[in-house]
Structure 1
């Protein structure tokens, strides 16, 4: 409703009236903002999806027909399906629409276009929910409310949503104990009762909450009245107490105002909400409001020492009252980000050549307060109230499928010498092959390395079967490190794997990644490929099979097959530092494919590769020979390592937890 400015208090505002306001109207607006104590990326998927909808006539999207006055059905391939388990979903935020429902100058068409967009693109953008931030109408009259309620039927039953009262929807000098109003009759609990997300409303009917399923977990949207009373806040606290493990998005009409730079500050009402409900409830990580313009944002720290993002979203000052402008918060729980973009589906739905200058200017907003990315480590942010329970260790027998020829893990089951974290593992320490096939590994120290170049660690990949690893301190200048090798008579030394194989391991590179570790080995077989008569490789001094790390931290898997005179080499992308990575190299007897974290990489060779030209020499973890000599050892952590004599599908890798 207001544009914030600084001369007096943060609650002061310039009212953008369409005509000269009456004295009574001025008083009403002043009460609304000065009496809180009266109780109270590149283009992202969603925007691309809008222009990708098949055109009708001259329009470039489904919305073009809506903007022209026609009502078109969504393409059959779209529908309203929503994937609640996908790690990516969107929350749509709709701010003040009051100028679209302003007495006899009302025009609901832009909002209908927005609702058609949300419904038709729900599956494509995985839109979980839409929340309105109040000031649905300009005066809150029966006529305006009725028209708005009728317009909301466009989305009803297609995308779940919440609505809350702004100061223009009710008598602004009242709080949520105001009793019956046209707004309450149209947008009260009765409207949402049949919605699957609806959790309930406060006894007065002006506050509500929804629980929605997205990214494989439940989230709570708490929609509070323009002026929540003490009773309303007590009800809200009760809702939070009843759902103590759910992350919460709090929505209300008036929470913050912003400077022209986009820097936001709590309003008087926002400060009250912060002190009474937000700061003490760690569940609330995002708080959204409208009312003021320009838009803005800030990050506050709650009593638990964690971030709370506070945003203002309001575009009523823009052309055509904002033209049904929406903001999409695209949650990506894999990348741990929320990508935010702001646009008008009504303007977007018109062919570019048909947009007026003001429509073209307003179709998408890209300022720092309109288009941005929030970095939120969801597991860390929510650990105070919804800690992630890590998978339990899996017994060795559960991760040895048919054809497993060797399996090493570094917990006490596989490494009897395992002790306290950081304890050195001296030369001769044995890591058992848990298959019973006799491929035990023994520790050797390279060059003049001290014993602490290899230590035991409890660090591990969260989905690794064993909750332990080995920390290797290898490096160059001078060469140092430690390796684990099979004994001279181990069966693994001579296996040829002509029917295929799967080699898996877990590795983690240190952060910071210090020193020169170019071409360090992770695992290999000893020997020279030249001794096997191989002639086509980079050097006859290379071993017949090795997994290495390049200077750019790419993975390199070099294989000299048993059958072909070739050296098909696989290259990954750069692997990260400070994070565990699962690596799987799979050969089906014809060719080799590498997977990183369960995903197939791009640079897999098409050259035939049947078997491994092993020479009866030891298998090694922690290094790679050249000319039958070891230089540097591995630098980082290595966890569970397994070799199977057939090609496994990704679903059978060691990655899945219990």
Structure 2
């Protein structure tokens, strides 16, 4: 526990992980979900943890790779004590479902002397995890001598290919048996783990290359005993053996994005650039110099493909399982390591990093007929099916250009510019949300001064102008804000119905001059959806979080005839009003994309991109949005 944690008992880690313990698995360590949740030891909590055991979800975008470094001092002749390692294994088994642990890899030096007795003690300890969490073990210099052509050994008899044969992840071994590889199913894709001997031979390198050649689209994690050493500040550099691996295997195979080793201490890390000019993260993990030979210390690599990060944490389940009030000073110092080489996050855009060997196929455009469910009253898109303005990026969309309502309901939109805005106020763009049905958008260059921008409006007698939606509605659109988001664009409109709410007899709102329905962006980049219902004298307003710049987002406003809920990228936002909201008090005036009126006047236009926009006269479930969210 750090000094800061001792001074602040509500510190995130000290509260959640070190506050209390369970005898076996109650301190749930989800390094990639929430840091471990420790609770009072009880049979109920233990049963709850046991209920999660084995429930690994291969489709979740979040999963963990557990890394176990040198355990040699726990298997050192007659001073051996396998208890810490057994506790680590029990913890991984019990928390597999909670933490979504895909695999565990040992980095070598299982034992101190590699004797038959030490090896057998270690092999027996591994039975705690065997058949419950798949794993790999590789040989370190304290387990064997020479390179992987050494022949038979006590280590090979216990930790050779026969040990892994029943594991669903195991795919094969080198002819000598000292190198293995495993294929994991996690985050809805396959991952390769190479477990290489501490001194891999030229034959072994050729075998490893053949494995990569056989699985050319799989991202690969290389594990070995000796790859890098570190200065006291945690700056790692390749060892002599690491240089051989780098030149002979890693640098020329873009698949290898993470290389893990033990052997040396202190722990450290570095980032190298391979022959494809991509990052390879090289890490040393070893705690045998710490209290109790490392106390069965485990490191978790929490892959989060949704956030584009790997969150790394290091802790001892054995020490974590003890009563915090009875831990010795050394136990308290070792229960979790929080230095910059022990707890950190790696930012990785996985699709971008892996595109050279496993490019993600871009979704194809979907025809309008495929995305017009029952009750669709209007649908606009900006590809060739919706407008003739497209085809050339940056081409101005002329005043008078028509964007057709593809439902055939006649709610076509006509382009016009605000005040004396120039041709660049609205241009065509091939940019689009990855999940958008049409692969096109309009780029709006609106602003406050002078009144600058462009709008797309329905005709004076369009049916949409007077639609009341008393049975509910779903309004969807795609937008992207520029990065950098320059200028003052506070309260710019995205879409709206024209007309004053006061003219609809509404009296409770911020001003009787604002329109009856509008989607806007505040000065803090919060989305604001304000609606004056048809059947209530009210103005229930939904607010989002501060939305990002530089990337596309999907926005949905869903009303079930009683209340309205805003969704951003398929996620329900928090600030949805509980007020009744039935219908929209439209006044027979045009629906507009690109701006919001005040007192029937447009003061500024939207700044950014707008894509497909659809209105349905009922509440849609998330799975039926324009882009599917699960």
TM bracket, shorter-chain basis: over 0.9
1:121-157 Cα offsets, whole Å, 9 max, x none, are 0001111000000000000000000000000000000
Instruction: Give the counterpart of 1:214 among 183, 186, 206.
Output: 186
Map 1:348-367 → 2, pairs under 5 A? 348-367=320-339
Residue 577 (structure 1) shift: 0.1
Tell me which residue corresponds to 1:295. Answer: 267
Residue 417 (structure 1) shift: 2.3
Give me the whole-angstrom Cα distance separating, in 2, the residues matched to 1:358 and 1:54.
20
Give me the whole-angstrom Cα distance separating, in 1, the residues matched to 2:93 and 2:342.
23
Q: Cα RMSD over matched residues?
A: 2.0
Give me the whole-angstrom Cα distance separating, in 2, the residues matched to 1:575 and 1:511.
12
Note if 1:177 corresponds to 2:136.
no
1:77-102 Cα offsets, whole Å, 9 max, x none, are 22211000000000000000000000
Note if 1:640 corresponds to 2:612.
yes
Tell me which residue corresponds to 1:82. Answer: 56
Moved over 3 A (4+): 42-45, 47-56, 59-64, 72-76
Note if 1:124 corresponds to 2:98.
yes
Residues paired across the two proteins, number: 607
Q: Is the 8 A contact 2:230 2:237 kept in 1?
A: yes
Instruction: Give the counterpart of 1:421 among 367, 374, 393.
Output: 393
Residue 53 (structure 1) shift: 7.0
Residue 50 (structure 1) shift: 9.0
Q: Is the 8 A contact 1:521 1:622 kept in 2?
A: yes
1:157-216 Cα offsets, whole Å, 9 max, x none, are 010000000000012xx1100000000000000000110000100000000000000011
Residue 62 (structure 1) shift: 9.6
**What's the TM-score once normalised by structure 2's chain length?**
0.94
Residue 74 (structure 1) shift: 7.8
Tell me which residue corresponds to 2:5. Answer: none
1:272-325 Cα offsets, whole Å, 9 max, x none, are 000000000000000000000000000000000000000000000001100000
Instruction: Give the counterpart of 2:436 among 459, 464, 472.
Output: 464
Kindly tell me: are residues 51 and 575 of structure 1, through their superposed partners in 2, closer, same or farther at Cα, counting changes over 3 Å?
Answer: same
Map 1:439-454 → 2, pairs under 5 A? 439-454=411-426
1:437-484 Cα offsets, whole Å, 9 max, x none, are 000000000011001210000100000110100000001122200000
Note if 1:166 corresponds to 2:140.
yes
Tell me which residue corresponds to 2:447. Answer: 475
Note if 1:622 corresponds to 2:594.
yes
Residue 353 (structure 1) shift: 1.2
Q: Is the 8 A contact 1:548 1:557 kept in 2?
A: yes
Residue 73 (structure 1) shift: 8.0
Give me the whole-angstrom Cα distance separating, in 2, the residues matched to 1:618 and 1:556.
20
1:310-351 Cα offsets, whole Å, 9 max, x none, are 000000000110000010000100000001010110001001
Q: Is the 8 A contact 2:474 2:615 kept in 1?
A: yes
Tell me which residue corresponds to 1:94. Answer: 68
Kindly tell me: are residues 253 and 54 of structure 1, through their superposed partners in 2, closer, same or farther at Cα, counting changes over 3 Å?
Answer: closer
Tell me which residue corresponds to 2:7. Answer: none
Secondary structure of the residue aligned to 2:87 is: helix
Instruction: Give the counterpart of 1:157 among 131, 140, 144.
Output: 131
Secondary structure of the residue aligned to 1:341 is: strand
Note if 1:601 corresponds to 2:573.
yes
Give me the whole-angstrom Cα distance separating, in 2, the residues matched to 1:545 and 1:62.
47
Give me the whole-angstrom Cα distance separating, in 1, the residues matched to 2:586 and 2:87.
66
1:593-641 Cα offsets, whole Å, 9 max, x none, are 1111111111111111111111110000000000101011000000000
Q: Is the 8 A contact 1:51 1:348 kept in 2?
A: no
Kindly tell me: are residues 62 and 328 of structure 1, through their superposed partners in 2, closer, same or farther at Cα, counting changes over 3 Å?
Answer: closer
Kindly tell me: are residues 161 and 50 of structure 1, through their superposed partners in 2, closer, same or farther at Cα, counting changes over 3 Å?
Answer: farther
Give me the whole-angstrom Cα distance separating, in 2, the residues matched to 1:497 and 1:51.
53
Give me the whole-angstrom Cα distance separating, in 1, the residues matched to 2:48 and 2:517.
55
Instruction: Give the counterpart of 1:511 among 474, 480, 483.
Output: 483
Instruction: Give the counterpart of 1:114 among 69, 84, 88.
Output: 88
Secondary structure of the residue aligned to 2:244 is: helix
Note if 1:244 corresponds to 2:209.
no
**What's the TM-score once normalised by structure 1's chain length?**
0.90
Secondary structure of the residue aligned to 1:346 is: helix
Map 1:512-551 → 2, pairs under 5 A? 512-551=484-523
Kindly tell me: are residues 61 and 544 of structure 1, through their superposed partners in 2, closer, same or farther at Cα, counting changes over 3 Å?
Answer: closer
Give me the whole-angstrom Cα distance separating, in 2, the residues matched to 1:75 and 1:258.
37
Map 1:28-427 → 2, pairs under 5 A? 48=16, 75-171=49-145, 174-427=146-399
Note if 1:613 corresponds to 2:585.
yes
Q: Is the 8 A contact 1:51 1:61 kept in 2?
A: no
Q: Is the 8 A contact 1:449 1:481 kept in 2?
A: yes
Give me the whole-angstrom Cα distance separating, in 2, the residues matched to 1:474 and 1:61.
53
Secondary structure of the residue aligned to 2:330 is: helix
Kindly tell me: are residues 516 and 285 of structure 1, through their superposed partners in 2, closer, same or farther at Cα, counting changes over 3 Å?
Answer: same
Q: Is the 8 A contact 2:570 2:629 kept in 1?
A: no
* Structure 1: gaps of 5 or more residues: 1-41
Give me the whole-angstrom Cα distance separating, in 1, the residues matched to 2:260 and 2:300.
12
Q: Is the 8 A contact 2:107 2:225 kept in 1?
A: yes
Kindly tell me: are residues 191 and 596 of structure 1, through their superposed partners in 2, closer, same or farther at Cα, counting changes over 3 Å?
Answer: same
Kindly tell me: are residues 90 and 51 of structure 1, through their superposed partners in 2, closer, same or farther at Cα, counting changes over 3 Å?
Answer: farther
Secondary structure of the residue aligned to 2:293 is: helix
Q: Is the 8 A contact 1:431 1:441 kept in 2?
A: yes
Residue 49 (structure 1) shift: 7.5
Kindly tell me: are residues 415 and 61 of structure 1, through their superposed partners in 2, closer, same or farther at Cα, counting changes over 3 Å?
Answer: closer
Kindly tell me: are residues 231 and 91 of structure 1, through their superposed partners in 2, closer, same or farther at Cα, counting changes over 3 Å?
Answer: same
Residue 43 (structure 1) shift: 5.2
Secondary structure of the residue aligned to 2:558 is: strand
Give me the whole-angstrom Cα distance separating, in 2, the residues matched to 1:238 and 1:373.
32
1:204-241 Cα offsets, whole Å, 9 max, x none, are 00000000000110000001000000000000000000
Residue 54 (structure 1) shift: 5.2
Give me the whole-angstrom Cα distance separating, in 2, the residues matched to 1:388 and 1:266.
32
Give me the whole-angstrom Cα distance separating, in 2, the residues matched to 1:334 and 1:61.
25
1:558-590 Cα offsets, whole Å, 9 max, x none, are 101111111111111111000111000011111
Note if 1:434 corresponds to 2:406.
yes
Give me the whole-angstrom Cα distance separating, in 1, the residues matched to 2:183 and 2:610.
42
